[in-house]
A = this chain, B = another copy of it.
Amino acid sequence: MYRKQLEQAFCRKISGELTIFRYEVLQGEKEAIYEAAYQIDSIISIYELLVEMSSRLSTETLEAAVMFPNILTFLYREWLGYEDSYTADIQYCLDKELAKLRRDYRDMKEENIV
Contact = CB atoms under 8 A, between A and B. Distances in A.
A61 B90 CA distance: 17
A60 B102 CA distance: 6
Interface in A72-92: 75, 78-79, 82-87, 89-92
Contacts of A25: 34
A94 B41 contact: no
B92 A45 contact: no
Nearest to A27: B30
Main secondary structure of the interface of A (DSSP, over half): helix
A44 B34 CA distance: 11
Nearest to A64: B105
Interface of A: 22, 25-26, 30-31, 33-34, 36-38, 40-42, 44-46, 49-50, 53, 57-58, 60-61, 63-65, 67-68, 75, 78-79, 82-87, 89-94, 97-99, 101-102, 104-106, 114
29 contacts: A22-B34, A25-B34, A26-B31, A30-B33, A33-B34, A37-B37, A37-B38, A41-B41, A45-B86, A45-B87, A46-B90, A49-B94, A57-B98, A60-B102, A61-B101, A61-B102, A63-B105, A64-B105, A67-B105, A67-B114, A75-B93, A75-B94, A78-B97, A79-B90, A79-B93, A82-B89, A82-B92, A82-B93, A84-B89
